[in-house]
Structure 1
Amino acid sequence: MSENHEYEDTGSFPQRSHFSLKADCESCFGLCCVALPFAASSDFAIDKHAGEPCSNLQPDFRCGVHNTLRQRGFRGCTVFDCFGAGQKISQATFGGYNWRQAPASAKQMFEVFPIMRQLHELLYYLNEALTLQLACTIHGELSAASDETERLSNLDPDSLMDMDMAAHRAYVNALLLRTSELVRAEELRQRKGSDRRKKYGRGADLIGAKLKGADLRGANLRGAYLIAADLRGADLRVADLIGADFRDTDLRGADLTTSIFLTQAQLNAAKGDADTKLPYSLTRPVHWFS
């Protein structure tokens, strides 16, 4: 199977840009630095309550220690991705009025932010699913789900808070699972009869697992706990990585070129090097070389 085979455009539906689904902090009012809580841990140096501005947040909504977050104990900030929800809430949902200018709307803005983040995360995955040729038989359903998710993301604040996010997420997740099965089935068919790899299922406990050089092509690693696992040189092509926990996972030399549903945040949480092979849409984290 060629590396690009999974990502051919069917021509039926236009490939949707990831641009609006990437964080644009210059267009956001520091929402992730205020709306979300965190506790002192290996990921955060201090405790912070939801709705409380981080002590590092500046008057211009920029982070005062952005370039030294890891060194100062705020690694959790470097692996967070809002998928563009921050600028959507700031510039569209609340029309460019920030929580300092309009303090009466601050509480609602902070409550809507996690809802919008979930919608944008779903849009990110649906966008990728629509590029997968092997899932072309359900592209119509995926496109309809994407349109509906986009519609929901454009609702007013009250309507966003009233929507049944759990039900919508379950609906989209079912489609993403079908996408995964269709894409991975082709890989598994090609290997039928000679595949003696250990099978992993959703939510597999692989914390600290020794998987150096492992052949994980087409594996189901949805929601797998891969914390501190050794995946050096592993082959993860066509593996479903949606929701997999890559904190401190060693990906040096691993091949993730056609893995599906991998995010930048997952890579930011992992360890890698110049030999790690990535999908074209993702970038090599700077800290991999520090």
Structure 2
Amino acid sequence: MSDNDSTTPPTTEQDGLRADCANCFGLCCVALTLTASADFAINKNAGEPCRNLRDDFRCGIHTRLRPEGFSGCTVYDCFGAGQKVSQETYGGVDWRRAPGTAQQMFQVFPVMRRLHELLRYLTEALAMPAAEPLRTELRSARDATEHLTGGTAEDLAELDVSAHRDRVAVLLGRTSELVRATVPRSRKRGHRGGDLIGARLKGADLRGADLRGAYLIAADLRAADLRGADVIGADFRDAELSDADLTGALFLTQAQLNAAKGNATTRLPLSLTRPTHWAG
């Protein structure tokens, strides 16, 4: 969790929404619960430091996470919330030096992560030409979300982040409809929240499809066309994306790619990078 296994992406205006583990207090390695599974080799309670967390807050097995049974750590993305909480909310004073802040810090971290994830989506939405009719609303939502991230630790701990997320989700949904309506020859198929686990979708034309929250675990998406598809919240764990085209996919994240399988000819948005564990 302290790092992922993808290469460093190009510099963009979203750099503040990418994890900077060097400036984080290893929050994801402490604040979150781990359950022994195919993703994690151990059980760990929230608030308990992972056994691999070093004194300098870096991961002791970063280069061996997958073979050591911690593939889930290579997928997790805090969207820059870790360094925000560490360096701004708590002013650079870590939970080891000030143990009295630990419980609250671990409570604030997931709240900040959800806010930063919303900022990431809103920033992407604002860059979509087709979203021009919603530009004012999107900018207002982004500014409001940014303002919330600057709150005190007490404010963040008490924030009803789910309510804020629900309001933003409606706006992002309207944005998605506008953008997908411009996709040429789009079939606009709706699979929102659908169970597509293990689905055989090789070569499928999914341009402009609504795949929000869809379960695509281990789905065969080889050579599928996902241009303009809305994939916000879609579960791509072990989905096969070799030779697929994801250019222009809406709200696709690095974490989703890291959870999937692909190859050198999988086409990706310029803002994202090819995970190093993918086939050549």
Q: What does residue 48 of structure 1 align with? A: 44
Q: Deviations over 1:52-93 (max 9, x none)?
A: 000000000000000000000001100000000000000000
1: CA distance, partners of 2:213 / 2:162: 17
Residue of structure 1 equivalent to 2:232: 242
Instruction: State, as a whole percentage, how many aligned pairs show the same letter.
Output: 64
Deviation at 1:28, TM superposition (A): 0.2
Q: Which residue of 2 aligns with 1:184?
A: 180
Greater C-alpha radius of gyration: 1
- 1:271 aligned to which of 261, 264, 275: 261
Residue 203 of structure 2 is matched in structure 1 by: 213
Residue 52 of structure 1 aligns with an amino acid whose one-letter code is E
- Matched AA of 1:122: L
Q: Give the Å deviation of 1:201.
A: 2.6
Q: CA deviation at 1:164?
A: 1.7
Q: Secondary structure at the match of 2:277?
A: helix
Q: 1:132 corresponds to which letter in structure 2?
A: M
CA distance in 1, matches of 2:235, 2:162: 21
Structure 2 CA distance for aligned equivalents of residues 191 and 251 of structure 1: 22
**1:23-62 matched pairs, under 5 angstroms:** 23-62=19-58
How many angstroms apart in 1 are the aligned matches of 2:23 and 2:34?
23
Amino acid paired to 1:131: A
Q: TM-score by structure 2 length?
A: 0.94
Name the structure 1 match of 2:107: 111
- 5+ residue gaps, structure 1, are 1-15
Q: How does 1:1-290 map to 2 (within 5 A)?
A: 17-187=13-183, 190-191=184-185, 195=187, 199-289=189-279
Partner of 1:13: none
What letter is aligned with 2:41?
A
Instruction: Report the Cα offset of residue 167 of structure 1.
Output: 1.2
Report the 3-state secondary structure (helix = DSSP H, G, I; strand = E; otherwise coil) of the residue aligned with 2:192. coil
Shift of 1:270: 0.2
Question: Aligned-pair distance for 1:289?
Answer: 3.3
CA distance in 2: counterparts of 1:280 and 1:166, whole angstroms: 30
Question: Which amino acid in the other structure matches residue 229 of structure 2?
Answer: A
Q: Distance in 2 between matches of 1:273 and 1:140?
A: 39
Alpha-carbon RMSD across the aligned residues, in angstroms, is 1.2
4+ residue segments displaced more than 4 Å: none
Cα distance in 2 between the residues matched to 1:121 and 1:74 = 23
What is the CA–CA distance in structure 1 between the aligned matches of 2:218 and 2:138, rounded to whole Å? Answer: 34
**Secondary structure, aligned partner of 2:19:** coil
Tell me the CA shift for residue 202 of structure 1.
Answer: 1.2
Amino acid at match of 1:268: N
Cα distance between partner residues in 1 of 2:106 and 2:159: 16
TM-score after normalising by structure 1: 0.91
Matching residue's letter, 1:111:
Q
CA distance in 1, matches of 2:118, 2:167: 10
Q: Distance in 1 between matches of 2:126 and 2:190?
A: 25
Deviations 1:214-242 (A, max 9, x none): 00000000000000000000000000000
